[in-house]
Amino acid sequence: MEFIDHPSEEVLERYLFGSLPESEIEQVEEHLLVCHSCIDAAEQLLAFVRSLRSSLGSSRKPKTRAAGRGAALER
């Protein structure tokens, strides 16, 4: 199995925000399948992004499957 370089935090962030080009999304997802440390990093970023998003409101909606859980987080 071939490892690509770890995506940078910025790339992971853009991936979580849904602002990454599709070709790069594929690379990130393939990498996440094999790299647990990047999954950890992504999860930490995701938690950060969620708290950021709840303080900013939900004007930006990345197409993630977290949408269903969003309601529970709203205040």
Q: Cβ 23 to Zn ion, closest distance in Å?
A: 18
- Residue 2 burial class via C-beta count within 10 angstroms: exposed 0-12, middle 13-18, buried 19 and up: exposed
Return residues touching Zn ion (CB under 5 A).
6, 35, 38
- Closer to Zn ion by CB, 28 or 49: give it: 28
Q: Cβ 24 to Zn ion, closest distance in Å?
A: 14
Q: Cβ 11 to Zn ion, closest distance in Å?
A: 11
- Closer to Zn ion by CB, 40 or 61: give it: 40
- Closer to Zn ion by CB, 6 or 50: give it: 6
The 3-state DSSP class for residue 49 equals helix
Buried b (16+ CB within 10 A) or exposed e, 34-65: ebeebeebbeebbeebeeebeeeeeeeeeeee
